[in-house]
Amino acid sequence: MSRTIALLGLLTLAGCETTTSGGAVGADRSQLMLVSSGELDQMAAQSYAKLLADAAHAGKLNRDAAMLKRVRAVASRIEPQTAVFRRDAPAWKWEVNVLADPQLNAFCMPGGKIAFYAGLIDQLHLSDSEIAIVMGHEISHALREHSREQASQAIAAQATIGIGAALLGLGQGSADLAGTGYQALLATRFSRTDEAEADRMGLELAARAGYDPHAGVTLWQKMIAANGGAHQPEFLSSHPADENRVREIEALLPAVMPLYQAAR
């Protein structure tokens, strides 16, 4: 019983916070955070370095100079805009690379480690604005530290099963924590709440960077069309593309169009 109380106290102390300020789209939901940003960023940097090394070894890293230039140009316009949600973010150690891989996929790991798979751009014939929508969305997962939140929730859930074990891990900040976080990072399956937040924030980031937010509608319509085949693209298994998503993006256009017009 005393352990339960101690754990609850610890949870409350480590507690709830919001990683971002609201911006025009209201992204300031309170989040449970039990792992430090530093731990997650370190894991992400190591995972990303391994991914790049593996890709280079396979001859798949940044093969298309023109595509790399396009993707990096979009990133360089979006990165400064992240300040609207987090003042520390523009100074992150951003990295942007393109993998010569037919998958429809893209991600931004904690701390700003971005990868685009060429298949996403090639097969969906993405415009720069549509690239900006995907990038804004993925960057928003990192700004909101959704992976860190996931890791924290996993730890909290484990705590209800084995309080003693969890307390040991929490108290020592040990390899157990790192292991849980690493798993959450690799098996990234964001919640619908996370997805909606990333859509809203990404739309605002793209608009502020001077990209037409209407591309959010065309992007997801292309995703819906791509979803029809026998193989579900990796990106779509974690990012359900449906008419509902398109409608929610359309409903946000009046809030973000003035930002786009001001940025042009």
Residues classed as catalytic: 138
Per-residue burial over 80-118, b if 16 or more Cβ lie within 10 Å, else e, is ebbebbbeebeebebbbbbbbbeebbbbbbbbbbbbbbb
Tokens, residue 163: 């309080």
Scanning 72-80, 159-167, 188-196, 204-212 for contacts with Zn ion by CB under 5 A, the matching segment is: 188-196
Nearest-10 Cα torsion for 247, 196, 205, 104: -80
Instruction: Tell me the C-alpha distance between 80 and 235, whole Å.
Output: 26
Using the rule CB under 5 A, give the single segment among 55-63, 97-105, 187-195, 200-208 that binds Zn ion: 187-195
- Residue nearest Zn ion, CB atom distance: 198
The nearer residue to Zn ion, 134 or 170, going by C-beta atoms, is 134
In the complex, the smallest distance separating the C-beta of residue 127 from Zn ion, rounded to whole angstroms, is 20
- Rank residues 23 and 169 by Cβ distance to Zn ion and give the closer one: 23
Enumerate residues 6+ apart whose C-beta is below 8 A from 218: 127, 130
Strands (E), the chain: 16-17, 31-32, 95-99, 106-109, 113-117
Q: Which of 134, 198, 219, 241 binds Zn ion (CB under 5 A)?
A: 198
CB neighbourhood size of 59 (10 A): 8
The answer to whether 259 and 25 have CB atoms below 8 angstroms apart is no
When the beta carbons of 149 and 195 are compared against Zn ion, the nearer one is: 195
Mark the segment that binds Zn ion (CB under 5 A) among 5-13, 92-100, 124-132, 197-205.
Answer: 197-205
* Per rule CB under 5 A, count of chain residues that contact Zn ion: 3
> Nearest distance from residue 141's CB to Zn ion, in Å?
6
In whole angstroms, how close is the CB of 198 to Zn ion at the nearest point? 5
- Give the footprint of Zn ion on residues 38-57 (CB under 5 A): none
CB of 12 to Zn ion, least distance (A): 29
170 vs 256 by CB, closer to Zn ion:
256
Residue 94 or 220: the one with the smaller Cβ distance to Zn ion is: 220
Alpha-carbon span 9 to 103, nearest angstrom: 45
Residues of this chain, 226-245, that bind Zn ion according to CB under 5 A: 239
Please state the closest distance from residue 98 (CB atom) to Zn ion, in A.
Answer: 19
Q: What whole-number distance in Å separates Cα of residue 140 and Cα of residue 167?
A: 31
Residue 59, C-beta contacts closer than 8 angstroms, at least 6 positions apart = 100
Residue 91 gets the label, from left (phi > 0), alpha (psi -120 to 50) or beta, of alpha
Q: In angstroms, give the least distance from the CB of 97 to Zn ion.
A: 19
Q: Does 203 bind Zn ion (CB under 5 A)?
A: no
Interface positions with Zn ion (CB under 5 A): 195, 198, 239
